[in-house]
Structure 1
Amino acid sequence: MIGHRIREARKQRGYNQQWLAEQIGVSQPSVSDWESGRNDPTMDNLAMAARVLDVHIEWLATGRGPRDYADMLGELACQEKTGEYNYSRKLQPPVPPSRQETQEFSRLLRRLQPEQRVLLLGVLRSLVDSEKTDGEKPAK
């Protein structure tokens, strides 16, 4: 449940609901409603919560994948040591999806509920945005 993961990440970092609400730009009762499961946050608010709480939006939204960025980096370091994974994708341009991948993606997308599609689009946008950020050089 999204609300439980929001609460878990918030408490682990020592923040209260009021602080999180101020960072996201919502009311404290809204955060309380999310955490209790009465309401789910919008995709924008979920993305902002992920940024503020320094957790992956995929984990916050679905419970899947690494929770923290440190977890992901640890996994990548282990994979690199064993030769299972070469983390050089940032140096390569994106490869367009194959026709088979596009068809499968489209087929799966049609099976989702509207709220799930919104969530998936938010995750995809976050992934694309993180790629843009990773590839940019700092301003001098």
Structure 2
Amino acid sequence: MKVGVYSIFVYLHVFSAILSIGPLFVLMPIIRRLRKANPDAESAYLSIIRAIIRMVMHAGHMLVFTGTVLLIIGPWLWYTSWVVMTLAIMLLSAVFLAKGFTNVLKNFHQAADKHQVLSRLMTTSWMYIGLLLIMLWLMVQKPVIW
């Protein structure tokens, strides 16, 4: 069986989509444990959260790269409605990743109410998962919106 370049990039694209969504579900139990953690354990949990966010971010870079290559070598045009919608949601999700996760983690130790910060982190995680699932739906279904 001959595997083409397009097939390899589809595989890499799907793999990077899994890596950009999957680890976020690990955040939920970690955030719950962080609510009850003593100050010594907080640093360990925050390190795990930072590692997860870093992995999701780099998987997102791979996702963008492979998606761009697929658009260049594949049959889809840049102005196709599902491509435009995916790009718009991708930009929105980049803002969430930057503001929702990074700023929260930077300010965790200075926060007066850590439970409020963790609630915001949980909400941001679910919103980001939602955005990624919408992008996933757009890429799989390829709906004609206009």
- Bin the TM-score by the shorter chain: under 0.3
Query: Higher relative contact order at CA 8 Å, sep ≥6: structure 1 or structure 2?
Result: 2
**Structure-1-length-normalised TM-score:** 0.25
Q: Which has the higher helix share?
A: 2
